[in-house]
Structure 1
């Protein structure tokens, strides 16, 4: 039995879609806070169970019979560590043979502000004694392609990444990696994967690619971190989101989102999705 937490989210759905290629639906459990958001999974024969990171008492029934569990990191930045600890504790009580965790690229040394909670979770995993594997996910293409519509509207793409190179990959690539680890016949316990795209690019490159595909000029405008955060606040983003994005870009300028180990493509057995393809798909929609 393979249990996926946070299954109603985008990554969770993609992981389950990958698992269904090789694993019977009856052996997959989708754990979600909102069961309605997982109704499409239930329709495919996947077991859907209620589970909430903030309500540890829901996790024991959610993990019943689990052999392997994927802990998809919470989106509640700032309060994630106790939520993740609840999942780790429940996995230990359930006696799972492998607990996989979606961390962040180079979490042990990353300058990303959000890396701290991932480091703390990785420490908690080690302390728990539960056999675990860490999937240190790099940036998603989608993190940047979401900014293409406003960039086209204004002819400018804003950021604070300077000439920092970004080794992003598609969300689906990271989902395929998680599924590969969960279904591997090799012992995965104790492994740490640094997962990132095969190729890297700068935000200047991204703007040029948008220009090429859209046939409309888009220039990359590099801003100081504080100014970029202010610009994000001005377009209506919540404080914590603006802070997160601006900090992440500033860290990217110093190499936080770059990796050339190609562990992701090795794990999934194919090249990662090129960012040029992601740009093309975003413009097609």
Structure 2
């Protein structure tokens, strides 16, 4: 995956979160590091992140930015992020907390079942979501890593426009020319649907928990930090849907 980057002169290194010695010599004094949270939910992500933080501290890096979760999020998904933030702050390494909100791609990359059943099934009620595109969050990270004056700051990042699942279904209907229904269910029913579709039960519960948080308004981020850091408005959800449907 990184071959094209190597061709452009980027140094590629492979390190294993679970094997601390693979980080020996990886960082150098003065480096700026972006730690993107591990994807193995439920597999000691905090311990994995600690490995990176300790290696960065030992090397004397100038800054470590961590992709966390919104400070308002109480769902279980946020537990590893809060614990990692504590490890980072205790380390003494100059830090930036990039508290990324929800991603458009969490929905637009999973359109197959929605289009197969002509329904958006959720447990988020009337809750709104300040999601943005991966590229938006990446632009904010670039600004922090290449700019000055971000040390020991926390940024609450989210899209400029919050939307509801009902509005999402309506936009899908508009763009597909089909009637995409909004199917509201309880968190328990959503968990059963997800496990029935093959999602491991613990992760299904985590996803349903996020919908519960959405219903409470915990994924509305109105700080404006994301568009300010990126230097442009965030990507509209409609644009992300259009791109996904094109693919």
Normalising by the smaller structure, the TM-score range is: over 0.9
For 2:146 and 2:164, locate their aligned partners in 1 and report how far apart those are by CA, in whole Å. 34
For 1:154 and 1:249, locate their aligned partners in 2 and report how far apart those are by CA, in whole Å. 20
Q: Is the 8 A contact 1:132 1:190 kept in 2?
A: yes
Q: Is the 8 A contact 1:159 1:223 kept in 2?
A: yes
Q: Which residue matches 1:27?
A: none
TM-score of the two chains, using structure 2 as the length reference: 0.96
The counterpart of 2:36, out of the listed 61, 64, 72, is 72
1:83 aligns with 2:48: yes
The DSSP-based 3-state class of the residue aligned with 2:2 is: helix
1:116 aligns with 2:71: no
Q: Which residue matches 2:229?
A: 267
Per-residue deviation at 1:249?
0.9
Q: Which residue matches 1:40?
A: 4
1:100 aligns with 2:62: no
Q: Which residue matches 2:108?
A: 145
- Following TM superposition, the consecutive aligned residue runs of length 4 or more in structure 1 with deviations greater than 6 angstroms are none
For 2:95 and 2:134, locate their aligned partners in 1 and report how far apart those are by CA, in whole Å. 22
> Please, which moves more after superposition, 142-151 or 129-138?
142-151
The DSSP-based 3-state class of the residue aligned with 1:48 is: coil
Q: Is the 8 A contact 1:147 1:157 kept in 2?
A: no
Q: Which residue matches 2:19?
A: 55
For 2:111 and 2:60, locate their aligned partners in 1 and report how far apart those are by CA, in whole Å. 45
Root-mean-square deviation (Å): 1.2
For 1:238 and 1:283, locate their aligned partners in 2 and report how far apart those are by CA, in whole Å. 27
The counterpart of 1:195, out of the listed 157, 169, 194, is 157
Q: Is the 8 A contact 1:264 1:272 kept in 2?
A: yes
Q: Is the 8 A contact 1:140 1:171 kept in 2?
A: yes
Q: Is the 8 A contact 2:57 2:91 kept in 1?
A: yes
For 2:74 and 2:186, locate their aligned partners in 1 and report how far apart those are by CA, in whole Å. 16
The DSSP-based 3-state class of the residue aligned with 1:47 is: coil
Q: How many residues align?
A: 246
Per-residue deviation at 1:65?
5.2
The DSSP-based 3-state class of the residue aligned with 1:157 is: strand
1:220 aligns with 2:182: yes
> Please, which moves more after superposition, 170-179 or 237-246?
237-246
Structure 1 residue runs of 5 or longer lacking an equivalent are: 1-36
Per-residue deviation at 1:262?
1.3
The DSSP-based 3-state class of the residue aligned with 2:16 is: coil
The counterpart of 1:126, out of the listed 83, 86, 89, is 89
Cα deviation digits, residues 30-73 of structure 1 (max 9, x gap): xxxxxxx3223212211001211111111122214551111111
Per-residue deviation at 1:257?
0.9
The DSSP-based 3-state class of the residue aligned with 1:61 is: coil
TM-score of the two chains, using structure 1 as the length reference: 0.84
For 1:206 and 1:199, locate their aligned partners in 2 and report how far apart those are by CA, in whole Å. 12
Q: Is the 8 A contact 1:60 1:94 kept in 2?
A: no
1:167 aligns with 2:130: yes
Structure 2 residue runs of 5 or longer lacking an equivalent are: none
For 1:276 and 1:129, locate their aligned partners in 2 and report how far apart those are by CA, in whole Å. 42
